[in-house]
Amino acid sequence: MTVSDPVVEEIVATISRSATEIQQGLIGRRGAVDEEGRENPTGDTQLEADVWADDLLGDRLASLEGVGQYASEERPEAVDCGPDPATEDVYAVAVDPLDGSSNLESNNAMGTIFGIYDAPLPARGETLVAAGYVLYGPITTMVIATEETVAEYELTGGERRLVERDLELPDDPVVYGFGGRVPDWTDEFESYAREIEQELKLRYGGAMIGDVNQVLTYGGIFGYPGLESRPEGKLRLQFEGNPIGYIVERAGGRSSDGEQSLLAVDPEEIHQRAPVYVGNADLIERLEDALA
């Protein structure tokens, strides 16, 4: 299966061809960039693997004819690639090169997230034409969402093999995973979490991709809430919230920042954070009621 838009398909194909190389290239790149621990634009310590994966994807995606902007969690500003992203058949690509890279030290799951926007960045999630993620697990898999469908692939040798064409959240939810330190949760969110933990099984691995993939597989809810110390939460809207929200909504679920769909949030700057909740629609509705 290929994506109908040839430019979008070339972007997706470039990321999928790069995925195996990225996973193999993590070996020997588990430490910080330098002894002082250089930080990315939002204050996270950059690992050598973060910068390497960003450079690899940035070089390859920026060279594609239909890419007008490349933006990454590791760079302070979007890179203009030549074509105007406001014109037809030219897209902006926002990437989290290594989601959950802090898991490198313990050798646990991590991934790559991408969103393809039909508008200059920063942009609302409603302007996404496709989004996806690569999960570097025991098997390297890729989930791609477009306006038509959500599909899952296995990646090997630079090729992708279709596993499921029309991926949908199961109707009966099974798992949940919530981020942030419990003492820093708001009272309203903690009350909701205590209800959910009586109903579902905890699955939280420290990388959003792994947790969201479990929600897509088994049904349930993932959330990184607004905290008492950080009401805006931790996750970045352009690189994480919007792409994951788009995927889950296309798979029949819902996304929310606690009040509305993540895709409806107006971004003010490229590294803007937002609370992120995705999962089965009834669980998200209950969450919004609890936080109201």
Q: Residue 208: helix, strand or coil by DSSP?
A: helix
Q: What is the pTM of this model?
A: 0.94
Tell me the residue range of the domain where 129 lies.
6-164
Question: Is residue 169 situated within a structural domain?
Answer: no
Same domain, 223 and 275: yes
| Exposure b/e, 68-102, CB count within 10 A at least 16 = b | bbbbbbbbeebeebebebeeeebbbbbbbbbbbbb
Is 201 annotated among the ligand-binding residues?
no
Q: Tell the residue number behind the tokens 């002082």, with chain if given.
A: 36
Token pair belonging to 129: 């034409």
Same domain, 205 and 253: yes
- Is 96 designated active site? yes
- Is 184 designated active site? no
Same domain, 81 and 107: yes
Q: Which amino acid is at 15?
A: I
Is 253 within 8 Å of 284 (Cβ atoms)? Answer: yes
Same domain, 131 and 26: yes
For the domain that residue 160 is a member of, what is the CATH number? 3.30.540.10
- Is 99 designated active site? yes
Same domain, 160 and 182: no
What is the separation of C-alpha 42 from the centre of its chain, rounded to a whole number of angstroms? 16
Cα(231)–Cα(186) distance, integer angstroms: 9
Q: Phi and psi of 120, rounded to 5°?
A: -65, 150
- Is 118 designated active site? no
Same domain, 213 and 279: yes
Per-residue pLDDT of the chain (292 residues; tens, 9 = 90+): 567 799 999 999 999 999 989 988 888 777 776 655 566 676 667 788 899 999 999 999 999 999 999 999 999 999 999 878 788 889 999 999 999 888 888 888 999 999 999 999 999 999 999 999 999 999 999 999 999 999 999 998 878 999 999 999 999 999 999 999 999 999 999 999 999 999 999 999 889 999 999 999 999 999 999 999 999 999 999 999 999 999 999 999 999 999 999 999 999 999 999 999 999 999 999 999 999 9
Same domain, 11 and 120: yes
**Torsion angle defined by CA atoms of residues 117, 121, 125 and 126, in that order, rounded to the nearest 10 degrees:** -70
Total domains in the fold of the chain: 2
Question: Is residue 170 situated within a structural domain?
Answer: no
Same domain, 14 and 145: yes
105 in the Ramachandran plot: left (φ > 0), alpha (ψ -120 to 50) or beta?
alpha
- Is 73 designated active site? yes
Question: Is residue 1 situated within a structural domain?
Answer: no
Same domain, 41 and 144: yes
Same domain, 157 and 78: yes
Q: Please report the pLDDT score of residue 43 as a whole number.
A: 62
Cα(67)–Cα(80) distance, integer angstroms: 9
Same domain, 74 and 135: yes
Helix H or strand E segment including 98: strand 91-99
Is 234 annotated among the ligand-binding residues?
yes
For the domain that residue 239 is a member of, what is the CATH number? 3.40.190.80
Is 206 annotated among the ligand-binding residues?
no
Question: Is residue 141 situated within a structural domain?
Answer: yes
Is 100 annotated among the ligand-binding residues?
yes
Q: Which of 211, 240, 249, 257 is catalytic?
A: 240
- Is 26 designated active site? no
- Is 34 designated active site? no
Same domain, 217 and 198: yes
Q: Which of 109, 133, 164 is the last residue of a domain?
A: 164
Q: Which of 5, 48, 50, 257 is catalytic?
A: 50
288 burial via Cβ count (<10 Å: 0-12, 13-18, 19+): middle
